[in-house]
Structure 1
Amino acid sequence: MKKIKVLSSSVGYDLAAKDYDKKESYLNSFETDKLLPLLGDLDGKKVLDVGAGTGRLTLKLAKAGAEVVALDVSEEMLKRIMNYESRIKVVIGDAEDLPFPNESFDFVTAAFLVVHLKDLERFFDEVYRVLKPNGKFLVTNINQKEPPEVNTKEGIIKIESYYHRPEKVVEELEKLAFNIEKEEFVKENEVWINQIILASK
C-alpha cells in the first residue's frame, strides 16, 4: 500500500487550492451559520481573517460590510479570493508571526486554522497584539485527530495537523488575558465536531 505524504499547510493547500471550493458546503456544516451572528454589526469594521484559504468566511465578512484583510500561508488559495473580490486585501503570511502593527483590527477570525498549528500560544499572543482594545477574536477548533486526506492534481495527500482539546484552547486564551464571551459546540450524534469561541481583549 502506497504511503500518503503528509505535507505542510503552505505546500498542501497550494496543491489543493484548485478544488478546495468544492468542499464549501461540507465545511459550512461544521458551523451551522453560527459565526457571523456572534460578531454582530461589522459595517466599516477592520477584520483580519487568518487562515482565510479561498475566502469561504472572508467573503461573508466583506458582504456584511467589513473592511477585510485575508491572510494565509498558501499563495494559491489567496489567488482564488482575488478572483472573487478585488476589494479584499490579501496577505501571504504566517499566523504565528502576523505582519501587522499593534492594535490594527476590531476583529480577528480564524476558522479551521488552529488544527494546523502546533503552538496555540504563539498564535493567540499575536492575535492579542494586533487586536484593538476591546477587540473580538472568533476562533473555531474542529475535532480532528488525524490529518485530513485531500485530493489534488498530484494525487491524495495529507496536510499536517494537530488535535487540541477544547479545554486546552480555552486555557491558552485565558492565559493570555482573553475574556471568553461565548463558547458553543456543534455536535453530530451527541459528539462534538467543532468548538466555536468568541473572546475579547
Structure 2
Amino acid sequence: MTNKKNITWHTSMITKKQRRDQNGHQSFILWFTGLSGSGKSTLANAVAKALFNRKIRNYILDGDNIRFGLSKNLGFSEEDRKENIRRIGEVAKLFVDSGQVVLTAFISPFQEDRHQVRQLVEQNEFVEVYVKCPLAECEKRDPKRLYQKARKGEIKEFTGIDSPYEEPIKPELVIETNRYSVEECVVQVMTYLEKEQLI
C-alpha cells in the first residue's frame, strides 16, 4: 500500500477540456461487459474501427491483452479479478483525461467492481455496454475452448460455470449478440453515442 503522506498529486497544465477541444470530440469509457464468448472483444474492435473512421481517437483495453502486462501477476480468484478491474478502471480514467475514447472488453462479472469504475469518472463519461448472450450460446461458440476446459475441471472459478456473473442493473446499452450481426450491433452503439452527443 502506498504511503500517501509521501506523494503529491501534480495537476497538468493542459486540461481535459483542452485535450478534447484539440481532438474535436468528447472522451469517455465504453465498458463492454459480458460472459466469455459473448462477443465483447469482437464488438469493441468493430466499434473502435467505426470511431477511427470518423477520426475519433480511441484505444482498446482488452481483457487477455492486459493480462500479458499490467495484470500479469494476477490470477482468476475473486480477489484478483477485483484488483484487475480496479487497475483497468484507473488506466481507463487516464485515457478519459487524455481526451480519448477508451473501449474496455472485460468479463468484469461483479456489479460492485463496475460501479466503482463508474465512480472514478464524471457523469456521462462511463457507458456500460452489456454484451448479452445466453450461456448456452457462449458455450457453443467457445472460441478459446475455455468452457470445455471448465466443464472438465481444468479451469477453476470460471464465470458462468462455477463463478457467478452479475448482470448489469441499469446499463446504458444492452446489445444482444445472439440476435444481431456484428454490423448491426455496431450501429446500435454508434446510434446511442450520437443520440447522447458523445460523438
> Is TM-score (shorter-chain normalized) higher than 0.5?
no
Q: Which has the higher helix share?
A: 2
Q: Which has the higher strand share?
A: 1
TM-score, normalised to structure 1, is: 0.40
TM-score, normalised to structure 2, is: 0.41
